Structure 1
Amino acid sequence: MTENEPTETSGDPPHLAAVSDGDVAALEAELADRGEAYARVTIVRREPPVSANVGDRAVVTGDGELHGWIGGAACAQTTAISEAKAAIDDGKPRLVGIAPDPDEVDRPGLEAFPMHCHSEGVLELFVEPVNPTPELLIVGDSPVARSLTRIAGELAVDVVLVDPDAGDDHAADRVIESTDPDAVADAVGRSPLVVVASMGKYDARGVAAGVAADASYVGLVASDTRSGEVIERAATVLDTDPERVRGAVTNPAGVDVEAYTPAEIAVSILAEVVDARAAAATTASHPRRSPVGEESATEDGANTEETSESRNGADSGESTRDAAEDETATPELATDPVCGMTADPETAPAVEHGGETYYFCCEGCADSFRAEPESYLEREAA
């Protein structure tokens, strides 16, 4: 077997087995189709002995699964995964160096990490996050909805309009003609941003669609009185607790500014959408939707009132975002006393010493600790 031939080392979990470039490309296409965030990891420099070549690449999914080939060293894989997840979260690419002596590769623009595995060698990786373009789902054909559709085209979003009578006179990227909540939820990607502004025509169905699609933001353009009715009807459509729906909805939608015309109201809503989009970017890789009950045949009433009270939804929006962050909180991680990397206690190798349990990024670090535990503990204490 040659030095550069991909292998799966005995310490590697099964999902780290080498796959071909075609497999990696196919996985990227699949993730893109599903609207899932991931990171592309490419080797841009190497010094032997390492079992990888410049140009070898892998994909790291949002949940930390590595698919592809960047060499068999567990230290390199662990670093690639942790840096890829960080890149997905903050949306920033990074150049990563892994070497026995990190100072030798450390330079501006590169983040250096130690190579503690027995294979040694040097790797430099370019980690590139690939986050899907969020979808902005606008429900309705009201003047506010039309202004939203037109102005939102300037933002980095895919504008999707829900309007059975849209015709060709619209600025949306695509149109969904059905108002059935399940059909709308199935037609959009992961965690869309939703603004419901049909002014009573099918507001409840629009809110229900947003909840069914696990939208990161559901803004409702309605008065306080009508919003309560819409939420109750949406809960009936979903066959769920009204509190679940109420907790997901921001009403009145938009930031608190003196907005009265449809265009002004649209601008205030889009300002809130931009903030919600930034918060949603860190949760793009989480499961998409919760099961909902059978759809009710109930349609919204014929109330067509239009109001300028579509502002100051910040308090409700913040509580919704805080709840989402609590549900997706990262479990507490341990610190590897050998290399300083983080380790997940649920899956990491562990060593008992002196009545304490220590966790490691890989079996190589665990073996090093077993051989000389006191030296590492003294260094950690210092």
Structure 2
Amino acid sequence: MNPSEGAPPMTKHVEVMELVAQLKAAEEAFVLATVVRTVSVTAAKAGAKAIIRPDGRIVAGWIGGGCARGAVLKAARDALADGEPRMVSVQPENLLAELGVKPGENRDGVRFAENMCPSKGTMDVFVEPVLPHPSLVILGVSPVALSLATQARQLGYHVTIAAPAADLTDTPDADMLIDGYALIKLHEARRFIVVSTQGKGDEAALRTAVATDAAYHAFVGSRRKMAALREKLIAEGVDASALDRVKAPAGLDLGAITPEEIAMSILAEITVERRRGQRRAAK
């Protein structure tokens, strides 16, 4: 083989991996699709890679034409939704029949799709989602809030703390600090919000929390206190259904007493919510 004939694929590979590094550094979601096996005639060969964005665009690399594209893009969407990698095997109809599987069926962690192109080749593609760190937004700087921030950072969360600067007595362990409760330019990832003001700005923080999109909203305080705040905020025009989505008191019932224990119980509850889709996918 002429050495120059091998240069373009290598260049494409380097470009893909450079973009992977850039997207990871920018905390942006994407899928890395890699051809791991081919049989017979296929457009792409083992080792070919492509980067797929959440909107379905292939922004770098190449994994073949339309024969595999639809199945890989569907797998990419599903992977971004549940955070789990998967294998896609695109095969001609006769080989699927020999295996006793139908197009779209999953078996032993492999999703099968039919190759309807004349080439009738087989291509296995590993689809790996790369997601930004989950976002934990904490309103308040109570002892529970500060402990929650520290523990969450250790578990890989991107932590934002919002509270009036005057309430801060020390620099919290957080990726982002916001003066006050106006949540602007938040980290774009799956988001969890905890109000832990504990008497200082409860109403303002709770009003902001329920107006912010998140997979989980919680309030560190008793049911009685939350009920009183709910009644007051509804009277001020806050949507009752939004307030009803707030978990109060925050956290799993672990018998927690100290701020550190309460923070741990909240993170445990967030973990249950965060992993819910992934547990379903694994069954």
Q: TM-score, normalised by structure 1?
A: 0.56
Which whole-Å CA distance do the structure 2 matches of 1:48 and 1:97 have between them?
14
Which whole-Å CA distance do the structure 2 matches of 1:29 and 1:231 have between them?
44
Q: Any conservation in 1 of the 2:136–2:159 contact (CA below 8 Å)?
A: yes
Which whole-Å CA distance do the structure 2 matches of 1:161 and 1:54 have between them?
46
Q: Any conservation in 2 of the 1:137–1:192 contact (CA below 8 Å)?
A: yes
Query: Deviation of residue 80 (structure 1)?
Result: 0.9
Aligned to 1:266, the other structure's residue is in SS state helix
1:49 matched to 2:41:
yes
Residue in structure 2 matched with residue 117 of structure 1 by the alignment = 117
Aligned to 1:80, the other structure's residue is in SS state helix
Which whole-Å CA distance do the structure 2 matches of 1:176 and 1:214 have between them?
17
Q: How many pairs are equivalent?
A: 255
Query: Deviation of residue 94 (structure 1)?
Result: 2.9
Aligned to 1:96, the other structure's residue is in SS state strand
Residue in structure 1 matched with residue 199 of structure 2 by the alignment = 200
Residue deviations 1:132-174 (CA, integer Å, cap 9, x gap): 2111112212122122223323323122222324365322233
Which whole-Å CA distance do the structure 2 matches of 1:208 and 1:189 have between them?
20
Residue deviations 1:80-113 (CA, integer Å, cap 9, x gap): 1232233334433233332322569x99876554
The structure whose Rg is larger is 1
Aligned to 2:275, the other structure's residue is in SS state helix
Residue in structure 2 matched with residue 73 of structure 1 by the alignment = 66
Residue deviations 1:34-77 (CA, integer Å, cap 9, x gap): x66442212233345333344443344446x2425322234x12
Q: Any conservation in 2 of the 1:88–1:131 contact (CA below 8 Å)?
A: yes
1:92-241 → structure 2 map (5 Å cutoff)? 92-100=84-92, 101-102=95-96, 112-163=112-163, 164=165, 165-166=167-168, 168-180=170-182, 184-231=183-230, 241=238
Q: Any conservation in 2 of the 1:207–1:218 contact (CA below 8 Å)?
A: no
Which of the two has greater strand per residue?
A: 2
Structure 1 alignment gaps of length 5 or more: 1-18, 283-382
Q: Any conservation in 2 of the 1:142–1:198 contact (CA below 8 Å)?
A: yes
Residue in structure 1 matched with residue 31 of structure 2 by the alignment = 39
Residue in structure 2 matched with residue 374 of structure 1 by the alignment = none
Query: Deviation of residue 276 (structure 1)?
Result: 1.9
Aligned to 1:252, the other structure's residue is in SS state coil
Residue deviations 1:293-349 (CA, integer Å, cap 9, x gap): xxxxxxxxxxxxxxxxxxxxxxxxxxxxxxxxxxxxxxxxxxxxxxxxxxxxxxxxx
The one-letter amino acid paired with 1:52 is A
For residues 133 and 141 of structure 1, do their structure 2 counterparts lie closer, same or farther at Cα, with a shift above 3 Å needed?
same
Residue in structure 1 matched with residue 5 of structure 2 by the alignment = none
1:269-284 → structure 2 map (5 Å cutoff)? 269-279=266-276
Which whole-Å CA distance do the structure 2 matches of 1:249 and 1:185 have between them?
21
Residue in structure 2 matched with residue 309 of structure 1 by the alignment = none
Residue in structure 2 matched with residue 264 of structure 1 by the alignment = 261
Q: TM-score, normalised by structure 2?
A: 0.73
The percentage of aligned residue pairs carrying the same residue is 32
1:91 matched to 2:91:
no
Query: Deviation of residue 248 (structure 1)?
Result: 2.4
Which whole-Å CA distance do the structure 2 matches of 1:79 and 1:66 have between them?
14
Which whole-Å CA distance do the structure 1 matches of 2:237 and 2:23 have between them?
32
Structure 2 alignment gaps of length 5 or more: 1-11, 102-106
Query: Deviation of residue 250 (structure 1)?
Result: 0.8
Q: CA RMSD in A?
A: 3.7
Which whole-Å CA distance do the structure 2 matches of 1:215 and 1:131 have between them?
16
Which whole-Å CA distance do the structure 2 matches of 1:258 and 1:85 have between them?
40
Aligned to 2:229, the other structure's residue is in SS state helix
Which whole-Å CA distance do the structure 1 matches of 2:135 and 2:193 have between them?
8
Which whole-Å CA distance do the structure 2 matches of 1:119 and 1:178 have between them?
61
Residue in structure 2 matched with residue 326 of structure 1 by the alignment = none
The one-letter amino acid paired with 1:176 is I
Residue deviations 1:321-379 (CA, integer Å, cap 9, x gap): xxxxxxxxxxxxxxxxxxxxxxxxxxxxxxxxxxxxxxxxxxxxxxxxxxxxxxxxxxx
Q: Any conservation in 2 of the 1:196–1:221 contact (CA below 8 Å)?
A: yes
For residues 21 and 234 of structure 1, do their structure 2 counterparts lie closer, same or farther at Cα, with a shift above 3 Å needed?
farther
Which whole-Å CA distance do the structure 2 matches of 1:137 and 1:280 have between them?
21
Which whole-Å CA distance do the structure 1 matches of 2:178 and 2:249 have between them?
24
Which whole-Å CA distance do the structure 2 matches of 1:96 and 1:201 have between them?
52
Q: Any conservation in 2 of the 1:149–1:172 contact (CA below 8 Å)?
A: yes
Q: Any conservation in 1 of the 2:133–2:189 contact (CA below 8 Å)?
A: no
Aligned to 1:159, the other structure's residue is in SS state strand
The one-letter amino acid paired with 1:67 is I
The one-letter amino acid paired with 2:225 is R
Q: Any conservation in 1 of the 2:191–2:216 contact (CA below 8 Å)?
A: yes
Among residues 232, 249, 253, which one is paired with 2:250 in the alignment? 253
For residues 195 and 262 of structure 1, do their structure 2 counterparts lie closer, same or farther at Cα, with a shift above 3 Å needed?
same
For residues 109 and 229 of structure 1, do their structure 2 counterparts lie closer, same or farther at Cα, with a shift above 3 Å needed?
closer
Residue in structure 1 matched with residue 8 of structure 2 by the alignment = none
